[in-house]
A and B are shown apart, each in its own frame.
Chain A
Amino acid sequence: MIDFLLEIGVEDFPPGILGRTGHFLSSQLENLFKTKKIFYRSIRTIYTPRRIGTIILGVARRQKPQVLEIQGPPKKMAYDENGEPSLTLKSFMKSRNFKANEIVVKRLKKGEYIFGQKEQPGELTEDILYQELPKIVKGLEFPRTMVWNESRVRFPRPIRWIVALLDRRPIRFEYAGVKADRYTMPNFHFSFKPIRLEKPREYINFLRHGGVVVDPNERRKLILSRIKQTAAKLGGTPVFGDEMIDELNATTEYPEVVGDEFDPDYLELPGEVLNTVLKAHGNLIWIKDSNKFICVFSAKKKAIQNVQQGYKRVMQARLFDALFYYKKDIKQGLNKMQEQTKGMMWLKDLGSIYEKTRRLVKLAAQFDSIPNLNIDALTRAAELCKADLCSMIVREKEFTSLQGIMGGYYAKFQGEDDLVARIIQEHYRPITIGDGLPETDEAKVLSLCDKLDNVTGAFISGNLPTGSYDPLAVRRNGYGVINLLDHIDSGLSLFKLIERLEKLYNRPVPVSTIKDFFRERLTRYLQNRGFRYDEINAVLETWSGDVADVHKRCEALKGFRNHRDFTQLIIGQKRLRNILKDITAFKEIDKTLFKESAEKLLYEKGQEISAALEPLYQTGNYTEILKLLLSLRPQIDKFFDDVLVMCEEEDLKNNRLALINFINKIFLQFADLSKIVIEG
């Protein structure tokens, strides 16, 4: 058994796609080994900012032996009357070079046939790799690539060396103008001298000496444990998320960690600002509520002093800027900033930011029916919520993500109510699809209004999302609207809100397109909540704009799946639907035209259920509603058993169709259950 190493040496790779690329490369190699039937014991993904690769241990020198099988003549032609090989068989054996012990008989559909079978040694692993490796590198896909030399090969960053070593032999394939060999490069902080590898097993240790920890898992652990150690020494809680560690892991070859302090004068700044500055300048990790921080870097240990001093210098210059802006903003006050929003355009032709907030105030007023909602605070917050866009700090590219948060602070400084400040601070949430919602109902309402206005504005101005292109994040905003409506107990229809907005814009709004968009968003939302596509489809068929209500109906329908008569319920409406198909116009039901008792019974049962359903809809008791709908089933079945709907008498036929429609409508009031897929 031998080992194999592939390493693609690059100039510093984009950290966002590094891990993904490393794992994809490994999985492609794994596939290659499996489909080519080359045995191996273990496979390990490696990546650092400057290399992507795979180590495969315990590799076979050759493919597994291949069985060659060739069909020959039919058995009856292969032997003469004495059971001796015929001329036909002999010439088959001779032409294909089969010996007597390699001949077998197999039964096929068309009779028994002669087959020649023999084992052939597999191809050399080396030869296969030489052929396939360039294809594998070429097959990697990336969102953004570049050209750097005459080969015009595209890759995210230039490829500068390739190591392809099988045991002691390099596999010298060529890609992007680079010939694969046995030389890798150390961390440039340590040396520029290429490292010669005799065999793959030397790789990890030789590189460790060259200042590179090649295994990303090992590096991650190292980073985390060193952060914890340093934090313990500094005394405090480091503020970081998984994402930050991933990025540090993807930007360091040899992680070292050092802790330090910045000038305590900057503690005057809000924690969010401190954290943002630290993060933006090299993913520095803030020790919560202190002037301490941790720096993860990738260099030699003896660089510590310079690194400490350097990062601190840059970061403090930025804190200097931030504090300067912050003080100016406070001095100016949120009211003045609000005034300035009159001069800040929102979307093309859609007026200013100020006008947007005027719409938000009016739209938010629609929610005054929510019990205990502080409408005064909500209104005030809606007026002020965008003012911080004109603050000096939020206008800086680095701090745009602090919109809302800064507004909250500035609101407090000018003596606004605490709740007002809180609403402003929270009103952008949920920012991402998985983000939490604001805690206060008032902020939920404001966030909802803002997002709905964003979506509507985007549709009016023609900034529709297409494919992966969605510059105004219309989809995310739309999802947020659904999420928020589901969590605000308002009973308000989304459609009504859109119509209200249309009036506020006082210009044509593509209402039906927007409704379709939200239908799609709602579908996605419910799917993420674990509902099946057919359940969602059934319920949305009768959607009138109430999001929370649709969610409840899905819940009930899903719960009812476990009911032993669930299938019966669904088949009930399916039978009705099958008859009605495309018929849309119906006559009034004429009781005098009922001929069979089954007609009368179904009608009376329908009336009874209809009346019983009404109070249940008032309270939204959907499980009970489903039970009542199910109780229609015997009368439906009897009707179809006893009555011929499509009879010759036009009167009777129309009356029966009207009756079926009446019953179907009782179902439709809940959902179109005929859309449910029944398995088996």
Chain B
Amino acid sequence: MKKVKTFEKAIIDLKTFWQNQGCLIFEPYNSEVGAGTFNPATFLRILGSKRWNVCYVEISKRPRDGRYAENPLRFQQYYQFQVIMKPSPADIQKIYLRSLEALGIKLDEHEIKFVEDDWESPTLGAWGLGWEVWLDGLEITQFTYFQQAGGIDLEVIPVEITYGLERIVMVLQNVDSVLDIKWNNEMTWADVYKENEIQFSRYNFEYATPAFLNRLFNGYEKEAQRLFKAGLVFPGYDCAIKCSHIFNMLEARGSISISERANLIARVRALTNQAAQLYVKSISTEEKKG
């Protein structure tokens, strides 16, 4: 039998590749996030003018995308591989394509397409221009030049490259479902996560208690505001991240109306923007001291 690239090997390959590009190898954040962008290693570190090159795996939690493990491509939780390079190198598109080659994707045997995508995160007050990258029609990466974060115009433009790990490995292993991916030579993705996926789908859609989530949202919001007042940016931002996830949970549960939805998004954005402003203030005083 032909040996395939395992899920874990793909992660190792990407880490090695980006390490060679000068990226610091970071690890996932310790709270639930919808995307690697929420990790302070992206959201806060892209602010200011200091050089920052980093890569890390992030567990992306999107409660609304759960399908009880019945859809081959949609899950309420999957793995992202996040790369930030600030400033963005002039040949970054080529470097990215080389990283696909490093994974074993031969560019002359596939179609790689950069599909226009103006990225925006209303909860982070962030936006950028870039692309979804399609591999033979499958979206495998989000490629973005950030322009603004936390409502602040960026001094130095970073590039964010977010790989959808399961999807890429699916192609590498030539299987039709994420569930069938070989994690290592013995276990599949389904072995590791299928039951988890089903249970979390039930929790997100059926069992989560909106009243409890609402209480949590309000509580974390207050806590964040209190912490920001005390100048504690990182713990305050941590609470903002929690609010964001709770909002995603409420939305999946279908318990917020359209106008309420806009209101909750605005409240999360207020927190993340405050964090960004405080962070910028703290680094500028630090730079002055230095």
Interface residues of A (CB under 8 A from B): 11-12, 14-16, 49, 144, 146-150, 156-158, 160, 177, 188-190, 192, 251, 281-282, 295, 297-300, 302-303, 306-307, 309-311, 313-315, 317, 320-321, 324, 343-345, 348
- A315 surroundings in chain B (CB, below 8 A): 137
B110 within 8 A of A: yes
Measured between beta carbons, the chain A residues less than 8 angstroms from B73 are 314, 317
Top 4 A-B residue pairs of the complex, sorted by shortest distance between their CB atoms: A310-B136, A311-B137, A299-B111, A12-B114
Q: Are A160 and B90 in contact (CB under 8 A)?
A: yes
Answer yes or no: B97 CB below 8 A from chain A CBs.
Answer: yes
Q: Is B206 an interface residue (CB 8 A)?
A: no
Min distance, Cβ B131 to any Cβ of chain A, angstroms: 6
User: Contact: A317 with B72, CB < 8 Å?
Assistant: yes
Tell me, yes or no, whether B259 is within 8 Å of chain A by CB. Answer: yes
- Across the interface, name the chain B residue whose C-beta is closest to A211: B108
Of the candidates B111, B118, B129, B131, the one whose C-beta lies within 8 Å of that of A189 is: B111
Knowing A148-B88, A321-B74, say if A188 contacts B109 (CB, 8 Å): no
Chain B 75-101 interface 0/1 with A at a Cβ cutoff of 8 Å (1 = within): 000000000000110110110010000
> In angstroms, how far is the closest chain B Cβ from the Cβ of A355?
15
Residues A158 and B145 in contact in the complex (CB < 8 Å), given A149-B88, A188-B107? yes
> Are the C-beta atoms of A282 and B110 separated by less than 8 Å?
no
- Flag if B90 contacts A343 (CB, 8 Å): no
Partner of A147, one of B134, B137, B147, B174: B147
Shortest Cβ distance from residue B194 to the other chain A in the assembled complex, whole angstroms: 17
Chain B nearest CB from A94 CB (Å) reads 57
Task: For the complex formed, measure the closest distance between the CB of A164 and the CB atoms of chain B, giving whole angstroms.
Answer: 18
**Residue B35 is within 8 A (CB to CB) of chain A in the complex:** no
Asked if B111 and A303 sit within 8 Å, CB to CB, the answer is: yes
Pick the residue among A149, A177, A282 that contacts B134 (CB under 8 A): A282
Identify 24 residue pairs between A and B in the complex whose beta-carbon atoms are under 8 Å apart, listed by A's number: A49-B114, A146-B128, A146-B129, A147-B145, A150-B87, A188-B93, A188-B97, A188-B107, A192-B94, A295-B137, A298-B111, A299-B110, A299-B112, A300-B108, A303-B109, A306-B109, A307-B111, A309-B136, A310-B137, A310-B171, A315-B137, A317-B73, A345-B258, A345-B259
Contacts of A317 in B (CB 8 A): 71-74
B157: CB under 8 A from chain A?
yes
Contacts of B87 in A (CB 8 A): 149-150
Residue of A nearest to B93 (CB): A11
Are B137 and A307 within 8 A (Cβ)? yes
CA of A303 to CA of B259 in the docked complex: distance in angstroms?
47
Beyond the given A297-B111, A315-B137, please list 4 additional residue pairs across the A-B interface where CB-CB is below 8 A: A12-B114, A150-B87, A282-B134, A313-B176
Interface centre among A16, A150, A192 (most CB of B within 10 A): A192
Min Cβ gap B275→A in Å is: 23
Which residues from chain B contact A14 at a C-beta distance below 8 Å? 116
Partner of B90 from the list A149, A282, A320 (CB cut-off 8 Å) is A149
Q: Does the CB pair B138–A157 fall under 8 Å?
A: no
The chain A residue with its CB closest to the CB of B116 is A14
**Which residues of the partner chain A approach B192 to less than 8 Å between Cβ atoms?**
none
Question: How far is the CB of B267 from the nearest CB of chain A, in Å?
Answer: 17
CA distance A129 to B59 in the complex (A): 53
How many of B's residues come within 8 Å of A, CB to CB? 42
The docked-state distance in angstroms from the alpha carbon of A188 to that of B128 is 24
- Give the shortest distance, in Å, between B46 (CB) and chain A (any CB): 14
Of the candidates B93, B108, B257, the one having the most CB atoms from chain A within 10 angstroms of its own CB is B108
Check: B281 CB closer than 8 A to any chain A CB: no
Q: Which residues of B contact A314 (CB under 8 A)?
A: 73, 137-139
Give CA–CA (A282, B135) in the complex, Å: 11
Q: Which residues of B contact A298 (CB under 8 A)?
A: 111, 113
Q: Which residue of B lies closest to A147 (CB)?
A: B157
CA gap between A297 and B115 in the complex, in Å: 12
* Residues of A with C-beta under 8 A to B71: 317, 320-321
CB distance from A42 to the nearest CB of B (A): 32
A312 CB, nearest partner CB in chain B, Å: 8
Complexed CA–CA distance, A324 and B67 (Å): 11
| B residues near A158, Cβ cutoff 8 Å | 145
Closest to B138 in A: A314
What is the CB-to-nearest-CB distance from A149 to chain B, in angstroms, rounded to a whole number?
A: 7
Question: How near does chain B come to A332, taking the closest CB pair, in angstroms?
Answer: 15
Task: List chain A residues, Cβ under 8 A from B257.
Answer: 343, 345
Say yes or no: A189 contacts B112, CB within 8 Å. Answer: yes
- A315 vs B259: C-alpha distance in the bound complex, in angstroms? 33
Taken residue by residue from 227 to 263, chain B's Cβ proximity to chain A (1 for < 8 Å, 0 otherwise) reads as 0000000000000000000000000000001110000
Please determine whether A310 and B129 come into contact, CB atoms closer than 8 angstroms: no
What residues of chain B lie closer than 8 Å to A345, measured between beta carbons?
A: 257-259
Q: Which of B159-218 contact A (CB under 8 A)?
A: 171, 174, 176
Given contacts A11-B114, A251-B115, contact A306 B136 (CB under 8 A): yes
Per-residue A-contact encoding for B115-135, CB less than 8 Å = 1, 0 else: 110100000000011010011
Residues in B whose Cβ lies below 8 Å from that of A299: 108, 110-112
The CA of A49 and the CA of B134, in the complex, are separated in Å by 15
In the complex, the answer to whether A307 meets B110 with C-beta atoms within 8 Å is yes
With the chains together, A147 CA to B146 CA distance in Å?
9
Q: Is the CB of B109 within 8 A of A300?
A: yes
Residue of B nearest to A11 (CB): B93
Please give, as numbers and ranges, the residues of chain A lying within 8 Å of B138 by CB-CB distance: 310, 313-314
Q: B258 CB to closest chain A CB, in angstroms?
A: 5
Q: In the complex, how many angstroms separate the beta carbon of B242 from the nearest chain A beta carbon?
A: 26
With A150-B87, A160-B90, A310-B137 already in contact, the answer to whether A144 and B118 are too (CB < 8 A) is: yes
Chain B residue with Cβ nearest A311: B137
